[in-house]
């Protein structure tokens, strides 16, 4: 089946007596709308969708002919239901550049955009940010191949689910600077709108799990899906998108092995997201003041002991069983933590304070901030369930 722009593009080329070649983007396009024109060498190029553009010759193409094609493509895109998709992509470009605190404040206050959703908007469903990374040595040869493979599987699973790649963004300044836009680890992120079948969320989660497994098998991509709040009517779309972005941002605080993460499942992660950097610094200063050497960084085995004890509800015998340790070995590690940090983690308040300090100090370090926290132990603690 041809793309929606295929036939009108060829008809226009006949009228304009122009040669047209359709190509794929090597990387996600930067904020282009359907029908936007630009020069590549002597040839003209026109944006068709998030994956394709057309190269048009002759180079002296009349401005009115170009304007006519732009108008036609945009009108057809609107008729094809892409009007709301363009609006969503504009919202996304804004949201990925907000700091976490501002993003969560908009969600909490039920922020409504000044420009409403055009037309009927999407039907019932959920926005999904798909976090995509290459899977080992079998990764595709290039970023463009990965993009094409992921999109092909998405279209095979749900023909209208794909909305495009998440644009690059700063995610704000300060300690949250690495959380916005394209991930700093070389991975990519894409936006989907996953329809609800008879408003049954269970089918959405089952479908996403199957989709991720298919991506791993066919596109050689290791993925996780971050799912926003339900969109049941057009006015829900903005907050549905914002919550999907917030869920994606929470990946630094959540279980790394989970493949589907739903907005609201881990409220502690979103609370930690929203803590302003000055408050984090104040909290860390207070916790470090209790440590004899002012250092609350934990060696990996001590971080594991802290995680295990909290997971066992501070029951030392149960924690030893979970960690496959002798009880005396665990007690020795608990004493080492107390000697280093001044906190006896058998006490709930002490365990909570040290867990938060280790986690927040790790975040501060990852963002190039002020802390002396251990990134390794923070990663370990993020995975505590």
Name the 3-class secondary structure at 345.
coil
pLDDT digit string, tens, across residues 146-190:
767 777 777 776 666 778 888 864 333 333 443 444 454 456 788
Q: What is the reported pLDDT for 81?
A: 59
Q: Which two tokens stand for residue 212?
A: 């991720």
CB neighbours of residue 108 within 10 Å: 10
C-beta of residue 228 within 8 angstroms of C-beta of residue 128? yes
pTM above 0.85, yes or no: no
Give 257-289 pLDDT, tens digit per residue.
Answer: 678 889 988 888 888 888 888 888 899 999 999
Is 184 strand, coil or helix? coil
Is the C-alpha dihedral spanning 175, 182, 130, 307 positive or negative? negative
Q: Is 264 strand, coil or helix?
A: coil
SS (H, E, C) 2-46: CCCCHHHHHHHHHHHCCEEEEEECCCCCCCCCCCCEEEECCEEEE
Nearest of 229, 253, 292 to residue 381 by alpha carbon: 253
Contacts of 75 (CB under 8 A, 6+ apart): none
- In angstroms, rounded to a whole number, what is the distance separating the alpha carbons of residues 239 and 110? 7
User: Which pLDDT score, from 0 to 100, does residue 169 have?
Assistant: 44
Contacts with 196 (C-beta within 8 Å, 6 or more apart), sequence order: 123, 124, 125, 126, 203, 204, 230
Question: Per-residue pLDDT for the chain (385 aa), expressed as one digit of tens each?
Answer: 467 788 899 999 998 889 999 998 876 566 678 899 999 888 999 998 877 899 998 878 888 999 999 999 988 877 765 568 778 888 998 899 898 889 999 999 988 787 767 655 677 889 999 988 654 434 444 666 776 777 777 777 666 677 888 886 433 333 344 344 445 445 678 899 988 764 456 667 788 888 888 888 887 778 889 999 998 888 889 999 999 999 998 877 665 567 888 998 888 888 888 888 888 889 999 999 988 888 888 899 999 999 899 989 999 999 999 999 999 999 999 999 999 999 999 999 999 999 988 888 765 444 433 233 333 333 333 333 3
Structural tokens at position 71: 């108008």
Residue among 208, 207, 188, 236 nearest 84 (CA):
236
What pLDDT shows up at residue 28?
58
Query: Are the C-beta atoms of 51 and 25 separated by less than 8 Å?
Result: yes
Q: What's the confidence (pLDDT) of residue 293?
A: 85
**What's the rounded Cα separation, in Å, for the pair 253 and 276?**
16
Residues with Cβ within 8 Å of residue 90, at least 6 apart in sequence? none
Question: Helix, strand, coil shares of the chain as percentages rounded to 5?
Answer: 50, 15, 35
């Amino acid at each position: 089946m041809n793309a929606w722009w295929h036939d009108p593009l060829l008809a226009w080329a006949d009228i304009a007596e122009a040669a047209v070649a359709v190509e794929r983007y090597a990387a996600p396009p930067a904020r282009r709308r359907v029908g936007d024109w630009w020069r590549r060498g002597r040839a003209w190029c026109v944006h068709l969708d998030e994956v394709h553009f057309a190269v048009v010759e002759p180079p002296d193409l009349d401005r009115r002919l170009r304007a006519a094609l732009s108008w036609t493509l945009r009108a057809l895109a609107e008729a094809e239901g892409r009007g709301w998709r363009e609006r969503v992509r504009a919202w996304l470009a804004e949201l990925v550049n907000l700091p976490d605190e501002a993003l969560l404040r908009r969600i909490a206050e039920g922020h409504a955009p000044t420009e409403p959703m055009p037309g009927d908007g999407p039907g019932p469903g959920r926005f999904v940010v798909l976090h995509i990374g290459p899977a080992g040595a079998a990764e595709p040869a290039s970023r463009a191949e990965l993009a094409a493979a992921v999109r092909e599987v998405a279209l095979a699973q749900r023909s209208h689910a794909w909305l495009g790649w998440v644009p690059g963004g700063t995610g704000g300044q300060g300690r949250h600077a690495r959380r916005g836009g394209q991930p700093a680890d070389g991975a990519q992120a894409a936006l989907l709108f996953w329809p609800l079948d008879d408003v049954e969320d269970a089918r959405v989660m089952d479908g996403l799990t199957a989709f991720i497994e298919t991506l791993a098998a066919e596109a050689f991509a290791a993925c996780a899906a971050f799912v926003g709040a339900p969109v049941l009517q057009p006015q829900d779309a903005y907050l549905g998108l914002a919550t999907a972005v917030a869920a994606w941002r929470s990946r630094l605080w959540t279980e790394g092995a989970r493949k589907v993460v739903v907005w609201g499942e881990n409220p502690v992660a979103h609370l930690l997201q929203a803590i302003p950097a000055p408050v984090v610094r104040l909290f860390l200063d207070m916790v470090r003041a209790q440590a004899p050497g002012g250092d609350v960084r934990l060696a990996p085995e001590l971080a594991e002991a802290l995680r295990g004890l909290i997971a066992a509800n501070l029951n030392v015998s149960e924690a030893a069983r979970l960690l496959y340790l002798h009880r005396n070995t665990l007690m020795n590690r608990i004493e080492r933590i107390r000697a280093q940090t001044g906190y006896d983690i058998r006490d709930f308040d002490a365990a909570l304070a040290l867990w938060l300090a280790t986690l927040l100090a790790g975040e501060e370090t990852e963002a190039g901030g002020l802390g002396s926290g251990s990134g390794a132990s923070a990663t370990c603690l993020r995975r505590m369930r």
